[in-house]
Homo-oligomer: A and B are copies of this chain.
Amino acid sequence: MAVSQMKGKQSIEFREAPHIISSASVVGPKEGEGPLGEAFDLVAPEAEFGEDTWEKAESTMQKEALQTAAGKAGLSLWQIRYLFGGDLLAQLTATSFGNEEAGVPVFGLYGACSTCGESLTLAAMTIAAGYADYTAALTSSHFGSAEKEFRFPLGYGSQRPLSATWTVTGSGAFLLAAKGGHVKISGVTPGRIVDMGVRDNMNMGACMAPAACGTIFQNLMDFNRQPRDYDRIITGDLGFVGQTILIDLLKEKGFDIAQQHMDCGIEIYDHEKQDTHAGGSGCGCSAAVLAAMILPKLCQGIWKRVLFVPTGALLSKVSFNEGRTIPGIAHAVVLERC
C-alpha cells in the first residue's frame, strides 16, 4: 500500500474514489418548514423526538438517520465496519448514547460544525485504502442541546444579535463503499486550525471564515484548480456575515468565488420568515443539506463537481468564559458525479 495518493501540501486524491452509496437526513419541525422541507427524509413533528431531554432527542435523530441510510442501501447495520461520528456536545453525548445499539466500531470525532467534513474524509480514506467494505459518516446538532451547551438555557429567552446563527436540529448519515453510488469523493483537503483573534460567540461566521478561506485556497492550489472548476463551492454554516468575509478574503488571495459560493446555513431556512438571522449552523446543518440538496443535484447531473466545506468554530463554554479567542477549522471534500 505504498502508492502515494498525496496531492499538494495537505490534500489527498483518491486513486479509486469511494462512492457515497446512500444518505439520509432527519430534522426538526422548524427545518421542515424551511425551503428544503420536502427534501428531508424525516421531519419530526416536535423537536423532542419523543424524548425527555434534548440530548436524548439528538441521539434519536442519529439513530433514525443511520437506520434510514442503511435501509435505503439495503444494508444491515452490522455490515457497516466502522462509524465515524460526532456532534457538538461536550464528550460527544449525542454520539456516545446514540450508537451503542448499532454495535458498529465507532471513531468519535470533534471538529465543531466541520465534523461532517471530517467524518466524510475519514470514512472515504478508510474505504479507499481497503480497510472496510462499508463505512458510515454520521453527525448531528440540536438547537436545544446546543444553546444549553454553548450559551444559555432556552427558558431564559435570551435576545440574539443579527450576526448570530441558529443551530439546526438535524442529523445526516452517509454510507460509503468502493462502488455502487452516483456520487464519489474524489479528494479531500483536511483543514488547519486558524485563529484570527475573533472573540464574539454571537458571530461565528467571522470566526470560521478565515479557516474556510485557508482550506479552499489550499484545495485550489493542491489540485491546481480554479473556482470555475467547481459547479459550487459550498461552506457549512458561515451564514450571511461569514459569506461576505470569505469572498473578500479569497479575493485578496487571488480567487473570486462569488459565482460559485453557497452556504448550507443560508439554504436551510427562509431567514426573513423564520427569524434565523445570519443563517443556520451546527454539524447537522451541513449534513442535512448535503443529504437533502447537494447529493440529489449531483445525482441528477445538475452539478458535476462540488467542493463541500463544512466549517467549525472551536469554542467551548469554558474557553469563552475565560476570555479566549474562537479559532476556526474547515475540512473540504470534493464530490463528483460518477
Residues of A within 8 A of B (CB): 1-6, 10, 12, 14-16, 53, 55, 81-82, 86, 88-93, 96-97, 99-100, 103-112, 118, 121-122, 125-126, 128-133, 148-149, 178, 190-195, 314-319, 322, 324, 327, 329
Looking at A96, A118, A192, A329, the one whose CB has the most chain B CB atoms below 10 A away is A96
Q: A97-B324, A314-B96 are in contact. Are A1 and B3 (CB under 8 A)?
A: yes
List 13 additional A-B contacts (Cβ < 8 Å) besides A1-B15, A90-B318. Answer: A3-B130, A90-B91, A90-B317, A91-B316, A96-B314, A105-B192, A106-B329, A107-B109, A107-B121, A107-B190, A125-B131, A128-B129, A148-B318
**Candidates B3, B12, B100; contact of A195 at CB < 8 Å:** B100
Task: Please measure, in the bound complex, the distance between the C-alpha atom of A129 and the C-alpha atom of B314, giving whole angstroms.
Answer: 29
Task: Please measure, in the bound complex, the distance between the C-alpha atom of A322 and the C-alpha atom of B194, giving whole angstroms.
Answer: 35
**Candidates B2, B104, B128, B129; contact of A5 at CB < 8 Å:** B129
Q: Verify B107–A118 contact, CB threshold 8 A.
A: yes
Residues of B within 8 A of A14 (CB): 1
A125 to chain B, nearest CB (A): 6
Complex: chain B residue closest to A314, CB-CB: B96
A314 to chain B, nearest CB (A): 4
Residues of B within 8 A of A133 (CB): 6
A92 to chain B, nearest CB (A): 5
Q: Verify A82–B190 contact, CB threshold 8 A.
A: yes
Task: Please measure, in the bound complex, the distance between the C-alpha atom of A178 and the C-alpha atom of B3, giving whole angstroms.
Answer: 11
A51 to chain B, nearest CB (A): 11
Q: A93-B316, A108-B110, A324-B97 are in contact. Are A1 and B6 (CB under 8 A)?
A: no
Q: A1-B130, A100-B193 are in contact. Are A315 and B91 (CB under 8 A)?
A: yes
A26 to chain B, nearest CB (A): 20
Q: Verify B132–A125 contact, CB threshold 8 A.
A: no
Q: Verify A91–B314 contact, CB threshold 8 A.
A: yes
Task: Please measure, in the bound complex, the distance between the C-alpha atom of A69 and the C-alpha atom of B322, giving whole angstroms.
Answer: 30
**Candidates B86, B90, B190, B322; contact of A55 at CB < 8 Å:** B322
Q: A107-B122, A108-B118, A130-B2 are in contact. Are A89 and B316 (CB under 8 A)?
A: yes
A42 to chain B, nearest CB (A): 23
Q: A1-B3, A128-B129 are in contact. Are A86 and B110 (CB under 8 A)?
A: yes
